[in-house]
Amino acid sequence: MVLIIPVLILWMQHIRSQVDGQQINQIPKFSLLQEGENFTTYCNSSSTLYSFQWYKQRPGGSPVFLMLLTKPGEVKKPNRLTARFGDTGKDSSLHITAAQSADAGTYFCAE
């Protein structure tokens, strides 16, 4: 049996960012992972940001804070997650190593 793990990535401040005229991009937004697969996504901004935060919301749960990145180039690796603040200060990547069913959920990035 193949376990399918749904993962959705959202930018928390999308609406405010559109008002500011700030461009944000996330690829991919929605993904179905197989157990054991790696997954990487980015939250990109057109302007330099001072920090990146990542949150995770399990299906039916509340958003839970995962980590804060405050320096370009900074990397944090809690458990099987790796988050990196890009050297330019304009993007952050989130990497899931060997996806498990517990990884299912919605991941938010925020400034």
Ligand X SMILES: *[C@@H]1O[C@H](CO)[C@@H](O)[C@H](O)[C@H]1NC(C)=O
CB 48, CB 24: distance < 8 Å? no
Q: How many CB atoms lie within 10 A of CB 95?
A: 15
Stretch that binds ligand X, among 8-16, 68-76, 90-98, 102-110 (CB under 6 A): 90-98
Question: By rule CB under 6 A, what string of x and - marks binding of each residue 17-56 to ligand X?
Answer: --------x-x----------x---x-x------------
Residue 96 C-beta: closest distance to ligand X, Å = 9
Closest to 47 in 3D by CA, of 67, 24, 66, 70: 24
CB 91, CB 42: distance < 8 Å? yes
Q: Is 72 in the site for ligand X (CB under 6 A)?
A: no
- The smaller minimum CB distance to ligand X, of residues 47 and 61, is found at 47
- The smaller minimum CB distance to ligand X, of residues 3 and 61, is found at 3
CB contact set of 59 (below 8 Å; sequence gap of 6+): 104, 105
Residue 47 C-beta: closest distance to ligand X, Å = 13
**What is the spatial distance between Cα 46 and Cα 8, in angstroms, rounded to a whole number?**
22
Residues that bind ligand X in the complex, under the rule CB under 6 A:
25, 27, 38, 42, 44, 82, 86, 91, 95, 97
